[in-house]
Amino acid sequence: MTDPEIRLAQLWSLDNPPARDPAFAHAVTARIERRRLLWVWLERAAVAAAALAVAWAAWPFVSRELLGAAPLLAVAAAAGLAIWSVDLTFERLALGGYEDFTRDLASE
């Protein structure tokens, strides 16, 4: 190569994009996600502490009413559990789990 070609190649090499380092990019992304996860858990802990404080303060007033409503709450909880389990079963069937469901029944 001649001297002008070498100088031109050196000039063009300055415009090349920087080399990428996947390990560094992964480390930075992991650190950002760890920080984000920490903030999410701190927010959840703050909300849980506030809810616990409100529940503790309200317990003397609410406990008398809960004793009278205990049978109704038990029935509501049982009905909610039944509805949730049926919904979960049909959701699995709707997502293509019908073949697995029938195969499991046939194998028994």
Please give the structure tokens belonging to residue 56.
């503790």
Q: What is the pLDDT of residue 30?
A: 92
Proportion of the chain above pLDDT 70, given as a percent: 78
Higher-pLDDT residue of 5, 55 = 55
Q: What is the pLDDT of residue 108?
A: 54
Model confidence at 9, pLDDT cuts 50, 70, 90, reads confident
Answer whether 101's CB lies under 8 Å from 92's CB.
yes
Answer whether 9's CB lies under 8 Å from 1's CB.
yes
Task: Report how far Cα 19 is from the mean position of its chain's Cα atoms.
Answer: 33
Helix (H, G, I), strand (E, B) or coil at 16: coil
Q: By residue range, what is the domain housing residue 103?
A: 3-107
pTM of the model: 0.45
Q: Which residue has tokens 């809960």? A: 66
Helix (H, G, I), strand (E, B) or coil at 58: helix
Please give the structure tokens belonging to residue 94.
């709707």
Distance CA 8, CA 23 (A): 33
Mean pLDDT for the chain overall = 82
Q: What is the pLDDT of residue 10?
A: 79
Structural domains in the chain (count) = 1
Proportion of the chain above pLDDT 90, given as a percent: 38
